[in-house]
Structure 1
Amino acid sequence: MDSREHETDTTTTRWTVATVYDDMWVDPDDDPRETETEIVDERGVLLEGLRHFRLTVEMKCAGLDAEQMARRSVPPSTMSLLGLIRHLTEDERHFRRVMAGEDAPKLYRTEEDRDGDWNGAVADPAVVEDAWRQWRLETERTDRFIASVDDLGTTNAGFSDFGAEHGVQLQVRDVLSAHVNEYARHCGHADLLRERIDGRVGQ
């Protein structure tokens, strides 16, 4: 293998539009993640975390064209920001498939291509538009389901395939917490992917 295959461009200059704190994505007054909402309970903590990280994912993709969205900017990883949106869409459907018992089959992954969410993330404006449309639709459906659950101790209505033991009973609070953590983990990936695309940095 040619060693140059995994070389990366080192000329990208790091930058941010933030003027108050240079380690932030935007200034506090322009940050949609900042609210005056008082969080008073467990549900509020979990939902605020989910809202925060979903917004972060959107912000990390702002201003990019289809080629940039699909670019695998941190080789040899096959991750791209477009693939990440498709992957998180699958996660939203998986959450409801397990917890709500919904008939929500996988959109992108197949038995033949278990990484179809990443592999199908091609530099086509129509693919990007569809990915955003589908992700927003699925997040709205997930939010409606969570709002319909009065008790976070409610257990799953569908088959659980989380973790090593399949078929176990799980509470909404546990799976919602895992869902928030999944978004948080991928926000870290989005940080690196975006910085390698055009140099923009910030929390």
Structure 2
Amino acid sequence: MTVDSRSPHNDPRMPRPTRADERTTMTAFLRWHRLTFEVKCAGLSAAELARRSAGRSTLSLLGLIRHHAEGERFWFRQVMAAENPPPLFAGDGDVAFAVTGDPHLVAQAWQMWREEVAFAERFVATASDLDVVGDEPGAGPVSLRWVLLHMIEEYARHNGHADLLREHIDGRTGL
């Protein structure tokens, strides 16, 4: 889904259920946070998405798109599905944040993120239950329940960063 955030009437997020089973509630909250992140990035140019927050920080919205793509890939493909995919962005440290305002790079980052989110959604939808266990390298067994809660936490934290980045870029707040 491509989000158009120029009008608050185009908000693609649905209300989160207030009385549903655990899987439905958790996936709705994660979907809401993913869409919130997409809304924060919508309508910006490649250069604006690559704009860094301040000083020596490498934090940018484009870096967050790439970071989320890597996170989705790690937790759902590697940890939960026991696949061994190569990193999306090779290099030392968190190279997801080493970005330029290249429109091709932006399109590639969104495509990778959407592919990883789609994989994650399929994995969760077909998992027998939330007690399915994956293996986090260096840490050991983790349940799908734990991974979903962690992803909600991860998006919520970075949505706060995205709020500040977006306000720094064009003054926009809200949504």
TM over 0.5: yes
> Taking CA–CA contacts closer than 8 Å with sequence separation of 6 or more, which of the two structures ends up with the larger relative contact order?
1
Identity among equivalent positions (%) equals 45
Q: Which amino acid aligns with 2:162?
A: A
How far apart are the structure 2 equivalents of 1:78 and 1:72? 6
User: 2:145 corresponds to which residue?
Assistant: 173
RMSD over aligned CA atoms reads 1.9
User: 2:41 corresponds to which residue?
Assistant: 61
Consecutive aligned runs of 4 or more in structure 1 exceeding 3 Å deviation: 35-39
Task: Go from structure 1 to structure 2 and tell me whether the alpha carbon gap of 1:34 and 1:74 turns closer, same or farther (over 3 Å shift).
Answer: farther
TM-score by length of 2: 0.89
Match among 57, 79, 82 for residue 77 of structure 1: 57
TM-score by length of 1: 0.78
Match among 89, 93, 102 for residue 114 of structure 1: 93
Once the two structures are superposed, the pairs formed by residues 145-156 of structure 1 within 5 Å of their partners are 145-156=123-134
How far apart are the structure 1 equivalents of 2:101 and 2:122? 32
Contact 1:90–1:107 (Cα < 8 Å) also in 2 = yes
Q: Report the CA distance between 1:17 and its aligned residue.
A: 6.8
Q: Which amino acid aligns with 1:101?
A: A
User: 2:68 corresponds to which residue?
Assistant: 88
How far apart are the structure 2 equivalents of 1:117 and 1:108? 6
User: 1:31 corresponds to which residue?
Assistant: 11
Instruction: Indicate yes or no: 2:128 matched with 1:128.
Output: no
Structure 1: runs of 5 or more not aligned: 1-15, 19-25
Once the two structures are superposed, the pairs formed by residues 133-144 of structure 1 within 5 Å of their partners are 133-144=111-122
How far apart are the structure 2 equivalents of 1:76 and 1:201? 24
Instruction: Indicate yes or no: 2:159 matched with 1:187.
Output: yes
* Count of residues in Structure 1 that have an aligned counterpart in Structure 2: 170
Contact 2:17–2:28 (Cα < 8 Å) also in 1 = no
Structure 2: runs of 5 or more not aligned: none
How far apart are the structure 2 equivalents of 1:75 and 1:62? 24
- Which protein shows a greater Rg? 1
Instruction: Indicate yes or no: 2:141 matched with 1:160.
Output: no
Q: Report the CA distance between 1:170 and its aligned residue.
A: 1.2
Q: Report the CA distance between 1:148 and its aligned residue.
A: 1.2
Bigger proportion of residues as strand: 2
Bigger proportion of residues as helix: 2
